[in-house]
Amino acid sequence: MAATTGTASAAAEAPLVDKKWLAVAIGIYSVFYAWVRWYEGVYGWSAGLDAFAPEFETYWMNFLYIEIVLEVTTASILWGYLWKTRDRNLQAIAGTREELRRNFTHLVWLVAYAYAIYWGASYFTEQDGTWHQTIVRDTDFTPSHIIEFYLSYPIYIITGFAAFIYAHTRLPYFDYQKKGISLPYLVVVVGPFMILPNVGLNEWGHTFWFMEELFVAPLHYGFVFFGWMALGILGTLLQVFASFANLIGRELCGEEVYSGGDAAQWPE
């Protein structure tokens, strides 16, 4: 009977890793971007070559208008929700299983961010290269730009800032009121975000000089510089590991490693 009760209470307890959300994060991006790639394949060639054609307005400019509205709406709701529902007494859960659970939820957010960065900075950015080296552009809002700059970049920005807000308002290790803001986390979120404003420089240059597409042209180096900021993931992961070490260090490695409190600090 006792065993039955114990099993029931264990089943009632939330799992440390909510695999449903992990699957949702990977699944949503994969399915959505597969659909986007299909859309590009169909309407890139058939309606995306002449920016002055009526079909360009129908299939591409309307896509742009809709995605911008959806992105602003999503960012406002998601960031607003995460901020409004923040934990105002983070130290109350310090050292508990709840903190461990939240750390894993944070990792799910970071998985989503890393995956979104892949789609934006790798898949759709190099895709832009082959499109522009093949097709002569007659507008800033080319089919590949409408997807790359104004869809995939905002999506990773929305995801990244959501992860950032979650960490600083839910995890005692990242408690913004007690410790401030994580510098590497700031770099890994704000740096890639800056790629979007840098589009302004890029498009201005392309318009002014009407240059041929050379991907290694100095005009593109702004993207390179802000792409370096993705390396902030190194410091962020070290902090994440330290946050976990505070929770499992004693059981994992013994008393000689774990000295209590906020023990897992990396030497500067």
Partner 1 sequence: MSTTSTAVRSHAEAVEVSRMIDYFGLFILFFTLIGGYHVHGMLTMGDWDFWSDWKDRRLWVTVYPIVQVTFPAAVQAVVWERLRIPWGATACVLAILLGEWINRYFNFWGWTYFPINFVFPTAAVHMAIWLDVVLMLSGSFLFTAVVGALGWGLLMYPGNWPIIAPLHVPVEYNGMLMSVADIQGYHYVRTGTPEYIRMVEKGTLRTFGKDVAPVSAFFSGFMSILIYFIWHFVGRWFGTVKFVKRT
Residues 117-156 that bind partner 1 (CB under 8 A): 117-118, 120-123, 125-127, 129-137, 156
- Report the residue number, 13 or 57, with the smaller CB distance to partner 1: 13
Q: How many CB atoms neighbour CB 123 within 10 A?
A: 16
Length of the chain: 268
Which of these, 123, 103, 99, lies nearest to 33 by C-alpha position? 123
- Report the residue number, 69 or 138, with the smaller CB distance to partner 1: 138
Among 56, 60, 113, 150, binds partner 1 (CB under 8 A): 113
- Report the residue number, 1 or 10, with the smaller CB distance to partner 1: 10
Site size toward partner 1 (CB under 8 A) is 83
Q: Write out the binding residues for partner 1, residues 21-40 only, by CB under 8 A.
A: 37, 40
Among 15, 27, 35, 179, binds partner 1 (CB under 8 A): 179
- Token pair, residue 187, equals 């770099």
- Token pair, residue 246, equals 């505070």
- Report the residue number, 3 or 54, with the smaller CB distance to partner 1: 3
Among 5, 85, 89, 212, binds partner 1 (CB under 8 A): 212
Among 36, 158, 171, 233, binds partner 1 (CB under 8 A): 233
Smallest distance from the beta carbon of 7 to partner 1, in angstroms?
13
Q: Write out the binding residues for partner 1, residues 238-267 only, by CB under 8 A.
A: 238-242, 244, 247-248, 251-252, 265-266
Is residue 89 part of the contact set for partner 1 (CB under 8 A)? no
Half-sphere exposure of 135 (CA within 13 A, CB side): 22
Is residue 114 part of the contact set for partner 1 (CB under 8 A)? yes
d(CA 268, CA 260): 20
Among 158, 165, 188, 189, binds partner 1 (CB under 8 A): 188
Among 82, 90, 100, 146, binds partner 1 (CB under 8 A): 100
User: b or e along 213-235 (b: 16 or more beta carbons within 10 Å of the residue's beta carbon)?
Assistant: beeeeebbebbeebbebbebbeb
Contacts 24+ apart (CB under 8 A), 45-52: 48/142, 48/143, 49/135, 50/138, 51/138, 51/139, 51/141, 51/142, 52/138
Candidate ranges 64-72, 73-81, 84-92, 173-181; the one touching partner 1 (CB under 8 A): 173-181
